[in-house]
Structures are given as structure tokens and as C-alpha cells.
């Protein structure tokens, strides 16, 4: 019984290595897992028989001696469906084992007025299309969704979705029902999932302590502490966008407060600071400010400097609190940060204690707008990775 448990855990660990690395030699697996080669071979054979991995001769390494076989994920044969409800779009994707996006569907969505039924309807439709377009022998092993709001852990309920005005909406359960699943779709907050994705497959690779700032209309956060997402007592931690940085003269925030980081550096703040019309919004408008600043437009430059100063206050505070190895700017901040890096760095130099800023890196997201989707896919794969043999039950 204990032996069986150890075997299942080892299967999961091996599959996780293969899933995250894409291809790993048997020799490397033996070393990383502290097991001998014959055990690795036995585990690999089981996962091969279950259709989860395959083994190849490695491409010539130039070294002498018998080369170790390379284990790879069966990317096209084993997939999850990943969904992303972002502020400006709905996306669904078929993501293969190994984290490869194989196929996707995308639709713009209006900023307001989309109720649960409509959103779930679009996503479920995408899900069916993706499933039908998959090769007949491919197996769906899980589902995961990202949502731009606060999610109750466990059941996928949206506690608070500010841009759609959702409060306590049964998003995960309803999406599960519409996909014909027997249970809710696991759902995560977009910035949390983006952080996990960046840490596993992006700019945060190898970092155990990491801060991910995700900009859309507002600013969300995913904070990795000791390799794990900071969740707090109820799963509602990481709300760095509602850190008040301007307590007495702050802009009003969607949350009802004033001077929150997202109120000072969010989309509206930047567009207002650049003197753009009040009815302009969206990623395109933001990028216009950035490119205008690049061409020397004084109003755009001044706006980016101002937003960068507030962003710097927030980032400096986060570095003092978390002493992270890396800070990653994602979502629309991926466009904004490079144009506002100077005031951000100035605030860090002024306010972060030297010992904590000695080694911290500032980077933009490597996965870009796919970060949240890739994170949702990781959520979908988690059950398979926890118990690879039990997990191979068609989820759809």
C-alpha cells in the first residue's frame, strides 16, 4: 500500500518533469529524482503504456558512450481545455501536455453588459469546437479557467468581478455544466495564474520568490513565496492593485477606495494623464501613448513618467515586503513598463533598503497575453500530474 503510494507519487513527479521541461533524458530524471535507472525505466514504461509520454533516441550529443533515452510528453495526444475571461476578450485553447498551445478560439468582448450565461455560452461553444477539431485519438485530461476577478478557491465562484459587475457568480460550476462535465471547472484569478505560468514557463523560471504584476484595466498580482502562490487565509491574497499609494489625493478606484495602485497606474490613469478623450480605451489606445512617447510627444512622455512614478512606489513597497528575486510586468504593463522604467527604478533606488534591492531583477512577461491561458492550462493539468494513471479519464 505504501509502496503503491510511492509509485504513484513517483509517476506524478516524473510526468511533471517531462511536462515542464519538454524533454528529459532518463539519466537526468534518475539524477533529479534520486532514483536508479531501472526504476526510472519502469516508471517511464508505465507512462508510455498509458499514452502520456514517449521515448526517443536523443539527437546526437557528440559524446561517446551509450546515450540515455529522452522522455517527451505526448503533446498532441494528451490535452486540456483552457479558458480565459480577460477584460477585453474571451479565449479558449487546446493545450497539449508539455504546455503547448495546439489550437485556440478568440472573441473580443464588450467591457460591460456580459452576464454569466452569455460568457459561459461563448466559452462552452469554443470548448466544443476545440474538442471536435482534436485528433480522434487525443484525450482530454482536464479543464481550467482564468478569470479577471476574485475567485473563491475550491468551487470556481467569482466573488467579485469588477469589470463585469459580477458578485458571487457560479462561473466554474456553470461552465462545467455547459461543457457536460460532472463537476465545476477549476477557476483561478488571472494574475495568480499568470504568475504561475511565468514561474513555470516564462520569465520567472527558476525563481522561488517572484512578484508578477498583471495590468489590464486595473492591476492584479500574483506573488510566489518559496515556490508557491501566496494565497492567504481565504485565497484572496495578492491584491497588490488595491495597495493604496496615494491616500489623500488619489484617483477613485473601481473598488470604492481612492488612490489604489490600479487607480494611479491603470489604463484610465494613463489615458487621462496623456490627455486622451474619455471615451477612448483598450490596449490599442495604451500602445498609442507608448509609441507617441517614443516619438518624443511631451504629453505622452509626461504621462508615462507620472504613471511610472506611481508604479515605482508600488513596486518598491512590494520589494521591501517580499525581497523577491524578480519582478515581472505582464498584461498591459508589458507595454507600459519599458517606457516607464526610469521612474520605477528611481523609486526603487530611493525607497528599497539596499540589502533587498541588491539582486532583484525587473523584467517583462515572457508569455505575454498567453500567460493567463497557460496558467489556466496548468490548473487543468494539475489532477493528471497528481496521479497520472487515475487521471487518464476523458474529461470531455
Q: Contact residues for a second copy (CB under 8 A)?
A: 150, 152, 159-160, 207-209, 221, 223, 225-226, 228, 230-240, 242-249, 255-258, 260, 309-310, 313, 316-318, 320-325, 347, 350-356, 358-360
Least distance CB 336 / a second copy (angstroms): 19
Q: Extract the runs of DSSP E, i.e. beta strands, from 51-112.
A: 53-56, 70-73, 78-85, 89-96, 100-108
Least distance CB 214 / a second copy (angstroms): 15
Measured from the CB atom, is 24 or 229 closer to a second copy?
229
Strand partners, 331: 215
Question: Where does residue 206 fall: left (phi above 0), alpha (psi -120 to 50 degrees), or beta otherwise?
Answer: left
For residues 109 and 47, the answer to whether their CB atoms sit within 8 Å is no
User: What are the DSSP calls for 296-351, one per residue?
Assistant: T-HHHHHHHHHHHHHHHHHHHHHHHHH--SEEEEEETHHHHHHHSHHHHHHHHHHH
Measured from the CB atom, is 76 or 208 closer to a second copy?
208
Q: Which three cell numbers stand for residue 179?
A: 461543457
Least distance CB 234 / a second copy (angstroms): 6
Measured from the CB atom, is 123 or 273 closer to a second copy?
273
How far apart are the C-alpha atoms of 94 and 299, rounded to whole Å? 43
Strand partners, 80: 95, 142
Least distance CB 2 / a second copy (angstroms): 12
Least distance CB 321 / a second copy (angstroms): 6
Q: Which three cell numbers stand for residue 75?
A: 503533446
Torsion of CA 193, 80, 367, 326, to 10 degrees: 40
Measured from the CB atom, is 121 or 325 closer to a second copy?
325
Least distance CB 269 / a second copy (angstroms): 15
Q: Which three cell numbers stand for residue 191?
A: 494574475
Sign of torsion, CA 71 75 81 84?
Answer: positive
Measured from the CB atom, is 301 or 306 closer to a second copy?
306
Measured from the CB atom, is 201 or 242 closer to a second copy?
242
For residues 220 and 242, the answer to whether their CB atoms sit within 8 Å is no
Least distance CB 360 / a second copy (angstroms): 8
For residues 50 and 345, the answer to whether their CB atoms sit within 8 Å is no
Measured from the CB atom, is 241 or 331 closer to a second copy?
241
Q: How many helices (H) and strands (E) does the chain have?
A: 15, 16
Least distance CB 355 / a second copy (angstroms): 5
Measured from the CB atom, is 39 or 323 closer to a second copy?
323
Amino acid at each position: 500500500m505504501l509502496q503503491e503510494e510511492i509509485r504513484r507519487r513517483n509517476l506524478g513527479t516524473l510526468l511533471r518533469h517531462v511536462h515542464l521541461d519538454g524533454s528529459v533524458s532518463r539519466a537526468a530524471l534518475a539524477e533529479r529524482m534520486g532514483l536508479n535507472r531501472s526504476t526510472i525505466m519502469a516508471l517511464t514504461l508505465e507512462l508510455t503504456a498509458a499514452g502520456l509520454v514517449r521515448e526517443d533516441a536523443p539527437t546526437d550529443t557528440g559524446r561517446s558512450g551509450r546515450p540515455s533515452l529522452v522522455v517527451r510528453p505526448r503533446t498532441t495526444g494528451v490535452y486540456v481545455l483552457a479558458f480565459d475571461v480577460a477584460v477585453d476578450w474571451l479565449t479558449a485553447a487546446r493545450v497539449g501536455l508539455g504546455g503547448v498551445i495546439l489550437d485556440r478560439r478568440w472573441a473580443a468582448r464588450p467591457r460591460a453588459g456580459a452576464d454569466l450565461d452569455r460568457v459561459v455560452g461563448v466559452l462552452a461553444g469554443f470548448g466544443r469546437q476545440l474538442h471536435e477539431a482534436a485528433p480522434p485519438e487525443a484525450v482530454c485530461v482536464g479543464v481550467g479557467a482564468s478569470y479577471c476577478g476574485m475567485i473563491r478557491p475550491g468551487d470556481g465562484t467569482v466573488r467579485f468581478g469588477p469589470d463585469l459587475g459580477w458578485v458571487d457568480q457560479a462561473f466554474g460550476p456553470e461552465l462545467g455544466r455547459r461543457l457536460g462535465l460532472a463537476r465545476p471547472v477549476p477557476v483561478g484569478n488571472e494574475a495568480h495564474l499568470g504568475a504561475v505560468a511565468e514561474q513555470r514557463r516564462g520569465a520567472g523560471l527558476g525563481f522561488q520568490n517572484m512578484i508578477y504584476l498583471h495590468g489590464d484595466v486595473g492591476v492584479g498580482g500574483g506573488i510566489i513565496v518559496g515556490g508557491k502562490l501566496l494565497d492567504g487565509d481565504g485565497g484572496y491574497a495578492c491584491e497588490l492593485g488595491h495597495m493604496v499609494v496615494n491616500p489623500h489625493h488619489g484617483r477613485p478606484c473601481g473598488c470604492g477606495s481612492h488612490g489604489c495602485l490600479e487607480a494611479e497606474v491603470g489604463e484610465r490613469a494613463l489615458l487621462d494623464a496623456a490627455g486622451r478623450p474619455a471615451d477612448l480605451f483598450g490596449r490599442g489606445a495604451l500602445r498609442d501613448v507608448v509609441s507617441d512617447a517614443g516619438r518624443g510627444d511631451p504629453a505622452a512622455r509626461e504621462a508615462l513618467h507620472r504613471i511610472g512614478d506611481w508604479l515605482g512606489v508600488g513596486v518598491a513597497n512590494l520589494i521591501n515586503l517580499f525581497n523577491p528575486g524578480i519582478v515581472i510586468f505582464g498584461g498591459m504593463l508589458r507595454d507600459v513598463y519599458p517606457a516607464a522604467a526610469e521612474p520605477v527604478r528611481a523609486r526603487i533606488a530611493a525607497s528599497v533598503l539596499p540589502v533587498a534591492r541588491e539582486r532583484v531583477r525587473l523584467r517583462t512577461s515572457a508569455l505575454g497575453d498567453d500567460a493567463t491561458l497557460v496558467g489556466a492550462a496548468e490548473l487543468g493539468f494539475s489532477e493528471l500530474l497528481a496521479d497520472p494513471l487515475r487521471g487518464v479519464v476523458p474529461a470531455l
